[in-house]
Structure 1
Amino acid sequence: MRNVTLTDVFTHPIAQKYLGRSGIAHAVSVAHHAFRLALEYEVNPDLATKAALLHDVGHYEWYTNGQWDYEKYRENDIHAIKGAERAHKLLIRLGEDPASAKEMALAVLLHTDSYLPEGHLDKNNLQKVVRLADEADEEPGGNHHYRKMDYDLALRKIQALDQKVADVLKKDQGYKKSS
């Protein structure tokens, strides 16, 4: 049973605020990639798609003289840390199972290593899926954050993905609650 659907997350005003900053088209695309990868990695697609949708909600807008400054972003950004906090808070507010909310927040936290010190970190499959889904949609210079998608189209894509997740979960009751 799902406490919170992908549609619940997407339509929440807090999600809309932060998805608008980081790019709705990118978030929706990454959620779709995560669904495909979740099946491949045998990860709960409900957790994977919601974490993927929220992976960039921690973005801060880095500008210099009124222009987006990609280099400043790359040098200073820690969006995954803030995003994990925002995702966790939103998921809990919506009524998500606390353990699942924590798992998704950790996947958001670890979807990039741009802020981590050098070294190796073993990630679980949910964390790998979210990272790979994000990488599958990246464009040079951060351009993936600037693709546009109409809200109604994005909502229809999210609702269709929500139905795919529900169908998989109904068909395969073997998915663990977590990753």
Structure 2
Amino acid sequence: MSKVTLETIFKHRVTQKYLQRSGVNHAVSVAYNAFDLAAERGVSVDLAAKAALLHDMGHYEWYRDGKWDYEEYRRHDIHAIKGAERAHKLLIRLGEDRLVAKEVSLAVLLHTDSYLPFDVEGKRTELQKVVAEADTMDEQPGGMHHYKEMSRQEAIKLLRKLDIKIADYLAGDARHPTTG
């Protein structure tokens, strides 16, 4: 595991700003889902959890007549594009390896195809598939998964546990953590 942990990523002010918009509970849940899927499939659990935690940091809110309009949001959605750029900048700023930052940001970019004019299924790497599936596992109709509450303290506690799971998994695994 790299020196950049999920807890370090989560505590950064940029992460705090954007995860508050997209839902801390959802981000943490997707990170746990991604760890499990990655471990099952022989994909880097470190990269999968990082990409999953950051996958929705490109979200923004779309209001019509003072109310959030999910359908209007979906029509104009480019959150994966914005999120990939934000994730890459954040990871580099935190001192993450550049190749790791690139792989994580590509997984953020391709965790959904809602903004693409073509289907990416079958073209994703295994890491990208893991993050996309982990996200789908937590989705709720109308985007309600973005509104489940979780305190900052609870998120930090859960991310510390996941950091330990990642470290333990990698300690027992000879594969290099950047293998995606």
Which bin holds the TM-score, normalised by the shorter protein? over 0.9
Mapping for residues 1-179 of structure 1, pairs under 5 Å: 1-121=1-121, 122-179=123-180
**Which residues of structure 1 form unaligned runs of 5+?**
none
- Counterpart secondary structure, 1:71: helix
**Which residues of structure 2 form unaligned runs of 5+?**
none
Query: Taking structure 1 as reference, are residues 120 and 80 closer, same or farther at Cα in structure 2, changes over 3 Å only?
Result: closer
Which string of whole-angstrom CA distances, capped at 9 and with x for unpartnered residues, describes residues 29-85 of structure 1?
000000000111111111000000000000011011211100111100100000000
**How far apart are the structure 2 equivalents of 1:177 and 1:30?**
20
Give the RMSD, CA atoms, in angstroms. Answer: 1.0
**How far apart are the structure 2 equivalents of 1:8 and 1:39?**
22
**How far apart are the structure 1 equivalents of 2:25 and 2:120?**
31
Query: Taking structure 1 as reference, are residues 176 and 164 closer, same or farther at Cα in structure 2, changes over 3 Å only?
Result: closer
**How far apart are the structure 2 equivalents of 1:178 and 1:103?**
10
**How far apart are the structure 1 equivalents of 2:179 and 2:72?**
36
Give percent identity, aligned residues only. Answer: 60
> Displacement of 1:120 after TM fit?
4.2
TM-score by length of 2: 0.96
Does the 8 Å contact 1:31/1:50 carry over to 2? yes
Does the 8 Å contact 2:80/2:109 carry over to 1? yes
**How far apart are the structure 2 equivalents of 1:8 and 1:40?**
25
